[in-house]
Amino acid sequence: MMLAVFAILGLILGSFCNVVISRGPVLWGLSEEPRPQGPFDLSRPRSHCPSCKRTLAPAELVPLLSYAVLRGRCRQCGARIAGRYPLIELLGGLAGIAAVLCAPGVAGAAFLLGFLLLLLAAAAIDAETGYLPDALTGPALWLALLAAAAGLSVPPGAAIIGAAAGYAAFRGIAGGYAALRGREGLGRGDAKLLAAGGAALGPLALPFVVLASAACALAVIAAAAARGRPVEGGTALRFGPYLAGGIALVLLAEAALPGRVVPPWPLL
Ligand SMILES: [Zn+2]
């Protein structure tokens, strides 16, 4: 029962993530796309086809099902609907299922689902724009600190030290890299995202998160090189999606097997 409720909740919130991913960059000034005329926020104007501007009927807004029934095309103008929409909805539904399977209790599952969805939206926006918005990494950090205060994750002291250590580690590496190479290697958004991960998992989890993220990123670079794409030191890689994936993996593993993945924080 709880599994079904969280799966459906994840699908619906995943659908809302799509709105955030589409409009957030314009709302927060991270996109070169001009702000449309008239009222523009996360709820206005109503969801519409980007091609023919027709407002979508409620039956066209059902997560996954509408895309399948419409076969990925607008009913009126036949324009292709980006595959990102059903993908994000699917990942939202899977996040709901994973949250219930990994966390004991409703409150723990609700925290996991909320945190995973913030990671998902942040990762998708970074993949599309190259920016990790504060409007998403900030709430992720606060949500993790609140969960620690409510006894849903690590002890509060570990959450605070984890957040500071995550931020400081990436800012330190970024500063060192910039001084050595004379160009920016790691964005500030990556440091804020790792701070949120440290708050959710405690400082001892950070090496696992960074290793998991770097392994995924290297695998993608190796795959690109194998297909004959040139890879050099200056080749830009948006690290946010990998970092979000690494945090999500360690978070779910740690929720499912408490104390077995990350050593318990001994001090606070
Ligand atoms: Zn259309």
**How far, in Å, from the CA of 55 to the mean position of ligand 1?**
9
Under 8 Å between Cβ of 166 and 194: yes
**How far, in Å, from the CA of 67 to the mean position of ligand 1?**
13
Q: Dig out the tokens for 266 from the structure.
A: 């001994």
pLDDT band at 247 (very low <50, low <70, confident <90, very high): very high
**How far, in Å, from the CA of 36 to the mean position of ligand 1?**
17
Cis omega (within 30 of 0) for bond into 34: no
**Residues of 24-48 as b/e, b for ≥16 C-beta within 10 angstroms?**
bbbbeebbeeeeeeeeeeeeeeebe
**How far, in Å, from the CA of 81 to the mean position of ligand 1?**
9
pLDDT given at position 235: 66
pLDDT greater than 70 at residue 17: yes
**How far, in Å, from the CA of 185 to the mean position of ligand 1?**
40
Under 8 Å between Cβ of 30 and 131: yes
Interval 146-197: pLDDT, tens: 999 999 999 999 999 999 999 999 999 888 888 888 877 778 899 999 999 9
Residues paired with residue 80 on neighbouring β-strands, in sequence order? 73
Residue type, position 159, single letter: A
Which single residue is written with the structure tokens 């998991």?
212
Which single residue is written with the structure tokens 């709302």?
27
**Residue 73, helix vs strand vs coil:** strand
pLDDT greater than 90 at residue 34: no
Average pLDDT over residues 203-215: 94
**How far, in Å, from the CA of 83 to the mean position of ligand 1?**
15
- Regarding predicted confidence, which is higher, 103 or 141? 141
**How far, in Å, from the CA of 80 to the mean position of ligand 1?**
8
CA distance 247 to 163: 13
**How far, in Å, from the CA of 25 to the mean position of ligand 1?**
22
**How far, in Å, from the CA of 53 to the mean position of ligand 1?**
6
Cα 226 to its chain centre, rounded Å, is 28
- Regarding predicted confidence, which is higher, 264 or 26? 26
**How far, in Å, from the CA of 180 to the mean position of ligand 1?**
50
pLDDT greater than 90 at residue 236: no
**How far, in Å, from the CA of 73 to the mean position of ligand 1?**
8
- Regarding predicted confidence, which is higher, 183 or 78? 78
Average pLDDT over residues 210-230: 88
